[in-house]
Amino acid sequence: MNKSIQQQLDGHGTAPHDLEIQLPNGQLRLKEASVEAVGVSTSGAEYTPNQQWDVRGAAGQSLAGKIKDRVTYLLEPLEVIETEAESVLIRSRQPHQVEGQRSYYEGWAKPAGFDLKRYAAAPKEARKPAPLRLTRDIVERLASDLDSISTD
């Protein structure tokens, strides 16, 4: 594990509050994060690059493809769902289903970065935010992968 990221995780503690992980090309902010020995529970992960991303047209499709192709270690594979003028929607290819409840990842790529959240919904009910639970290794990989996209 990257010592710098590990040190930032170690210094955070279990009480939920935002954790900002400094990276060479940007920052990964884990919202309302609680850090334990093995993993992190957060309401969302928000990567902000030092230089804004181009998400228009073909550049946005390329960026979304890089995110989808690199971030392959979450519970469900990601898929590009929709491209808009200033954003691209990426979501779990297939929701995870347990006891009738569906849960999935949803991420928006925008010029200001990438915002990843998790949602859950029971049948015939509106979706609700769900905790994003990541191992420390996954936090490091997510931070490194999103940061490396900023240099492509």
So what's the pLDDT on residue 1? 47
pLDDT in tens, 50-88: 999 999 999 999 999 999 999 999 999 999 999 998 999
User: pTM here?
Assistant: 0.92
**Structural domain boundaries, residue 144:** 3-149
Looking at the 3D structure of the chain, how many domains does it have? 1
Which parts of the chain sit beneath pLDDT 70? Answer: 1-2
Torsions phi, psi for 32 (to 5 deg)? 45, 45
pLDDT at residue 2, rounded to an integer: 65
Region of 9 on the Ramachandran plot (φ > 0 left; ψ -120 to 50 alpha; else beta):
alpha
Identify the CA nearest to 46 among candidates 70, 71, 26, 65: 26
Buried b (16+ CB within 10 A) or exposed e, 37-57: eebbbbbbbbbbbeeebebbe
Closest CA to 66 of 114, 30, 135, 2: 114
Residue 5 pLDDT: 87
